[in-house]
């Protein structure tokens, strides 16, 4: 009897899994890598990471297959000392084994019917650089000419035309031929009160400021700058060179070392296709006239060396204060601007304004008309500055003054105190809707509220959510959200509405969330949700995609009945091929377990 039951059960199980495979299977890609010192790893699939990170181990060979070999995939690798190898297909080995040769780049494409319904996306993790952007359908991913080993790879199939799983910038870097980079940080100009590209289309720069370079030189590193661009969605980084404080450039600091950091920062930002602000960080010296001669020498050197870079913005005095009036600042500017202009006739130059770069109203009354491409600095700290200062900004913008928020903080003006994220969000909305660029203070782990990195985190790159402060996490969310509507975003375009989204008005494909379980393990909290998707439109749909927002970064621990992509705090859920069609009024429920910091909220 027992045996019979066992037999029946196993038959039933076989039938379920067999039919399940036939009915439930979605398009799927699996891949295995041959790793230095490890050999062939197990197969990973659909976006999982194959290879290793943080271990400095090279991938030497790879095998890829799609739908267990029933569809065709073709791939070629670029191998050290060999170059591009002949393409192979369906689980054949590309690369070498036993020769200790690293793979540096790869391209992968689909053939046949699957190429009609899917895009194949892939991204690589490269030594010294970290994760690059996503390439697709035969584009190259990885590096060339830099002798950099590929250490990990992720591959995923998406319905044709869907948006990429993440940033597509810098999927492939050719170190020998930097000019082959698509120039996303091309020359800018100022038109009326707006920063624009050469075609006159408004551009919005959004990014991060270093802390003082003399305090925190370690955060000027190539991998971090790639990360800022690829993972944080920043398209600008500001290099803050203090003039007076703590071994300041004009008060005993090692000028060559400091200039070296600035130049390295310019190179790293350029490699990562970001704009870079060269900031002369006047603060305790109050009056920019104090070190005017040093400023002229400094800007002369930098602008002559980088006159051909189109991605440099000069900020000639961070925050005049101590009662220094606009006339004084303007006179200073009229001496420094021509020094830069002599080398670089078009670069955008940001001029500080009185009272820690708040009194833009004074510049409105007497702007610099002698030169074009001039902008005016406006700085705020969200926990200190509210409507009054915001009105000053709005009035100056409306009066036609081109304003650049070259520094803001989400804490109070001391760089400490509580964060005020509600206030920060109001500010960001104002900036976005007025085409104003902004840069957040500051990229360091100093134990103060303004810092974006946790003080106990000693890394200098490779930051995960857990390494960032609340302010740091807020910043990534903010930079990853749409900025200025209708502007040309020079880097990291905001994800488009996926093509599979029904064309019915949004809101008609409804979802409801039910937290069914919650537990903690170690430092992580786990949240299990049932998410019910309901077709509340009047038409049949054959596929669906829903974006759900979380209040913090999340990791997917497990999921079922759906496909999942993550874009920072956005969770993009789409149907499997068996639950895509929903008649009007019909629902389907999917399951999901998320790992996050405590207090996760989805909506």
- Where on the chain is the footprint of ligand IDC (CB under 6 A)? 245, 283, 318-319, 356, 379, 381, 407, 409, 413-415, 441-442, 446, 448, 450
Spatial neighbors of 18 by CB under 8 A, at least 6 apart, are none
**41 close to 80: Cβ distance less than 8 angstroms:** no
Show the CA angle centred on residue 421, arms to residues 445 and 164, nearest 5°.
80
- Report in angstroms how near the CB of residue 315 gets to ligand IDC at its nearest: 11
Kind and range of the H or E run holding 406: strand 403-409
Spatial neighbors of 114 by CB under 8 A, at least 6 apart, are 27, 66, 67, 71, 72, 157
Is residue 576 part of the annotated active site? The answer reads: no
Separation of CA 545 from chain center: 23
Q: Which is nearer to ligand IDC, 408 or 544 (CB)?
A: 408
What is the Cα–Cα distance from 539 to 51, expressed in whole angstroms? 45
- Report in angstroms how near the CB of residue 245 gets to ligand IDC at its nearest: 5
- Report in angstroms how near the CB of residue 402 gets to ligand IDC at its nearest: 20
- Report in angstroms how near the CB of residue 445 gets to ligand IDC at its nearest: 11
**114 close to 68: Cβ distance less than 8 angstroms:** no
What is the Cα–Cα distance from 98 to 256, expressed in whole angstroms? 46
- Report in angstroms how near the CB of residue 214 gets to ligand IDC at its nearest: 11
- Report in angstroms how near the CB of residue 321 gets to ligand IDC at its nearest: 9
Q: Which is nearer to ligand IDC, 139 or 245 (CB)?
A: 245
**103 close to 78: Cβ distance less than 8 angstroms:** yes
Separation of CA 217 from chain center: 22
* Stated length of the chain: 603
- Report in angstroms how near the CB of residue 95 gets to ligand IDC at its nearest: 48
What is the Cα–Cα distance from 286 to 275, expressed in whole angstroms? 27
Q: Which of 65, 48, 148 is nearest to 111 (CA)?
A: 65
Is residue 370 part of the annotated active site? The answer reads: no
Token pair 């930002």 is found at 269
Q: Which is nearer to ligand IDC, 59 or 208 (CB)?
A: 208
Q: Which is nearer to ligand IDC, 318 or 492 (CB)?
A: 318
Task: Kindly state the tokens that stand for 128.
Answer: 């010294």
Spatial neighbors of 472 by CB under 8 A, at least 6 apart, are 451, 452, 453, 454, 463
**491 close to 229: Cβ distance less than 8 angstroms:** yes
Active-site residue, selected from the candidate residues 74, 407, 448, 466: 407
Q: Which is nearer to ligand IDC, 212 or 402 (CB)?
A: 212
- Report in angstroms how near the CB of residue 261 gets to ligand IDC at its nearest: 16
Q: Which of 29, 49, 32 is nearest to 41 (CA)?
A: 32
What is the Cα–Cα distance from 354 to 586, expressed in whole angstroms? 61
Q: Which is nearer to ligand IDC, 66 or 333 (CB)?
A: 333
**237 close to 286: Cβ distance less than 8 angstroms:** no
Q: Which is nearer to ligand IDC, 432 or 442 (CB)?
A: 442
Task: Kindly state the tokens that stand for 108.
Answer: 């992968």
What does each C-alpha distance from 231 to 121, 168, 595 come to in angstroms? 17, 10, 19
Token pair 């071994």 is found at 247
Q: Which is nearer to ligand IDC, 224 or 452 (CB)?
A: 452
- Report in angstroms how near the CB of residue 468 gets to ligand IDC at its nearest: 17
Dihedral through CA 440, CA 442, CA 448, CA 452, nearest 10? 80
| Residue 172, beta-bridge partner list | 142
Task: Kindly state the tokens that stand for 231.
Answer: 């993972």
Q: Which is nearer to ligand IDC, 276 or 562 (CB)?
A: 276
Q: Which is nearer to ligand IDC, 414 or 418 (CB)?
A: 414
Q: At what angle do helices 292-305 and 326-343 cross, to 10 degrees?
A: 30
What is the Cα–Cα distance from 164 to 134, expressed in whole angstroms? 7
Show the CA angle centred on residue 432, arms to residues 428 and 433, nearest 5°.
120
Does the CA dihedral 305-308-313-317 come out positive or negative?
positive
Nearest residue to the partner ligand IDC, using Cβ: 415
Q: Which is nearer to ligand IDC, 275 or 441 (CB)?
A: 441
- Report in angstroms how near the CB of residue 99 gets to ligand IDC at its nearest: 51
What is the Cα–Cα distance from 260 to 335, expressed in whole angstroms? 25
- Report in angstroms how near the CB of residue 238 gets to ligand IDC at its nearest: 10
Q: Which residues of 385-409 are buried (b: 16+ CB within 10 A; e: fewer)?
A: beeebbebbeebbeeebbbbbbbbb
Active-site residue, selected from the candidate residues 139, 319, 448, 518: 319
Q: Hey, which residues are catalytic here?
A: 319, 407
């Amino acid at each position: 009897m027992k045996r019979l039951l066992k037999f029946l059960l196993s038959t039933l199980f076989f039938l379920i899994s067999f039919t399940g495979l036939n009915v439930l299977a979605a398009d799927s890609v699996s891949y295995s890598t041959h790793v230095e010192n490890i050999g062939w790893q197990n197969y990973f699939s659909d976006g999982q990471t194959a290879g290793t990170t943080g271990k400095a181990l090279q991938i030497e060979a790879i095998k890829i297959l799609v739908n267990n070999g029933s569809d065709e995939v073709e791939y070629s690798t670029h191998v050290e000392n060999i170059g591009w190898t002949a393409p192979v297909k369906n689980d054949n080995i590309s690369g070498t084994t036993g020769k200790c040769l690293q793979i540096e780049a790869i391209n992968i494409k689909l053939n046949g019917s699957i190429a009609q319904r899917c895009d194949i996306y892939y991204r690589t993790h490269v030594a010294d650089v970290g994760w690059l952007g996503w390439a697709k359908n035969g584009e190259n991913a990885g590096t060339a000419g830099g002798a950099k080993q590929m250490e990990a790879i992720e591959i995923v199939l998406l319905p044709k035309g869907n948006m990429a799983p993440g940033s597509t910038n810098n999927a492939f870097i050719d170190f020998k031929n930097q000019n082959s980079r698509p120039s996303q940080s091309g020359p800018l100009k100022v038109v009326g009160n707006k920063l624009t590209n050469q075609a006159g289309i408004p551009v919005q720069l959004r990014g991060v400021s270093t802390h003082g370079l003399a305090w925190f030189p370690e955060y000027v590193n190539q991998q971090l700058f790639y990360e800022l661009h690829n993972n944080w969605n920043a398209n600008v980084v500001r290099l803050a060179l203090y003039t007076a404080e703590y071994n300041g450039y004009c008060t005993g600091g090692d000028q060559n070392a400091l200039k070296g950091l600035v130049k390295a920062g310019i190179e790293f930002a350029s490699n990562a296709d970001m704009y870079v602000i060269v900031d002369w960080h006047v603060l305790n010296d109050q009056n920019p006239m104090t070190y005017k001669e040093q400023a002229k020498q400094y800007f002369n050197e930098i602008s002559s060396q980088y006159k051909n870079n189109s991605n440099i913005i000069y900020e000639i005095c961070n925050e005049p204060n101590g009662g220094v009036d606009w006339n004084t600042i303007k006179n200073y500017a009229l001496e420094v601007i021509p020094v830069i202009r002599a080398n670089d006739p078009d670069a955008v130059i940001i001029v500080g304004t009185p009272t820690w770069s708040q009194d833009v109203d004074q510049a409105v009354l007497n702007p610099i008309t002698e030169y074009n491409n001039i902008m005016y600095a406006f700085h705020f700290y969200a926990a200190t500055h509210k409507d009054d200062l915001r009105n000053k900004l709005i009035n100056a913008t409306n009066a036609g003054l081109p304003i650049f928020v070259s520094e803001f903080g989400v804490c109070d003006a001391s760089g400490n105190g509580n964060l005020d994220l509600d206030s920060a969000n109001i500010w960001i909305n104002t900036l976005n809707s007025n085409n104003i660029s902004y840069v957040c203070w500051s990229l360091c782990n100093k134990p103060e509220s303004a810092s974006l990195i946790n003080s106990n985190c000693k890394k200098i790159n490779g930051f995960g959510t857990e390494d960032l402060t609340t302010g740091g996490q807020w910043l990534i969310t903010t930079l990853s959200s749409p900025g200025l509507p209708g502007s040309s975003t020079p880097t990291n375009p905001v994800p488009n509405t996926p093509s599979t989204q029904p064309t019915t008005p949004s809101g008609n494909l409804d979802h409801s969330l039910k937290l069914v379980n919650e537990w903690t393990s170690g430092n992580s909290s786990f949240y299990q949700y049932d998410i019910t998707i309901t077709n509340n439109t009047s038409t049949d749909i054959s596929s669906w995609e829903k974006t759900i927002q979380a209040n913090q970064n999340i990791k997917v621990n497990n999921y079922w009945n759906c496909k999942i992509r993550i874009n920072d705090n956005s969770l993009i859920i789409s149907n499997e091929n068996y639950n895509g069609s929903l008649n009007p009024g019909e629902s389907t429920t999917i399951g999901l377990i998320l790992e996050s910091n405590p207090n996760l909220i989805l909506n």
